[in-house]
Amino acid sequence: MNLLSVTDRIRPLRSPIDECPLDAERARRLFSALIASHGPRHWWPADSPFEVMIGAVLTQNTAWSNVERALARLKERVPLEAEAILALAPADLAEALRPAGYFNLKARRLTAFCDYYRSAGGLDGLSRLETHQLRQELLAVKGIGPETADDMLLYAFDRPVFVVDAYTRRILSRLGLLAGDEGYESIRAAFERALGPDVPVYKEYHALIVHHGKHLCRTRPRCPECGLRASCPTAPDFAGIQGALDSSREG
């Protein structure tokens, strides 16, 4: 079954910025198609909720492989605990985080988060907060935006908060499921309405979107290899562009 009906493909959905047209059927059909294409991703790789939170800060504007290298260097220096990280000299912390890029900035952001984490009572203290309050407090920490906060909420605290990133917007816009001008909160709320409060599905869905965006639905997409191409109204356009580029190289 195609992800989009014939009508959908002829007339992609459009909506105002403060509305998102995603419905439950389309959201779940896309999830099923991604699972069929890539299999379960079992994300997030970490040994503790606190490591998830550190990773969420470090993964900003960099590849996960760089985060893994930075985490390994940090673990060589101190235990992954807020107190131990705060005890590091700023220059030593920044040097440990060098592989993650923007290491001086990320050292400051990680310090700010660890200071908040400690003052809030650590994992036990934060776990006692209801989801909306916890999200607002995380967003108040310098350097933590909506995507980073929602990564923490979903993967560290198992809260039913859907994570939206650039891949989400790119993939769903190309499929005609988003207009492309919706805001972060609008897209997040649309997924949560469509899927219901399903933490395991949220975790797997976000991981699948990231995998698909990194490996296939790139800025220059690899449409011939994509399992969603039959349902993607933009695939023929990209295929035509790629064909023209290949022909010019041959010529």
pTM of the entire predicted model:
0.87
Q: What is the pLDDT along the chain (251 residues), one digit of tens a residue?
A: 444 433 333 333 333 335 677 889 999 999 999 999 999 999 999 999 999 999 999 999 999 999 999 999 999 999 999 999 999 999 999 999 999 999 999 999 999 999 999 999 999 999 999 999 999 999 999 999 999 999 999 999 999 999 999 999 999 999 999 988 899 999 999 999 999 999 999 999 999 999 999 999 999 999 999 999 999 999 987 755 444 434 444 54
The pLDDT, as a whole number, for residue 19 is: 64
The pLDDT, as a whole number, for residue 61 is: 95
DSSP 213-248: HHHTS-SS--GGG-TTGGG-TTHHHHHHHHHHHHHH
The pLDDT, as a whole number, for residue 239 is: 59
Q: Which CATH superfamily, name and number, covers 49-156? A: Hypothetical protein; domain 2 (1.10.340.30)
The residue extents of the domains of the chain are 6-42+162-225, 49-156
Fold type of domain 6-42+162-225: Endonuclease Iii, domain 2 (1.10.1670)
The pLDDT, as a whole number, for residue 240 is: 55
Give me the long-range contacts of 104-107 (CB less than 8 A, separation at least 24): 105/143, 106/57, 106/58, 106/60
The pLDDT, as a whole number, for residue 15 is: 37
Query: Dihedral (C-alpha) 146, 100, 217, 237: value to the nearest 10 degrees?
Result: 100
The pLDDT, as a whole number, for residue 13 is: 35
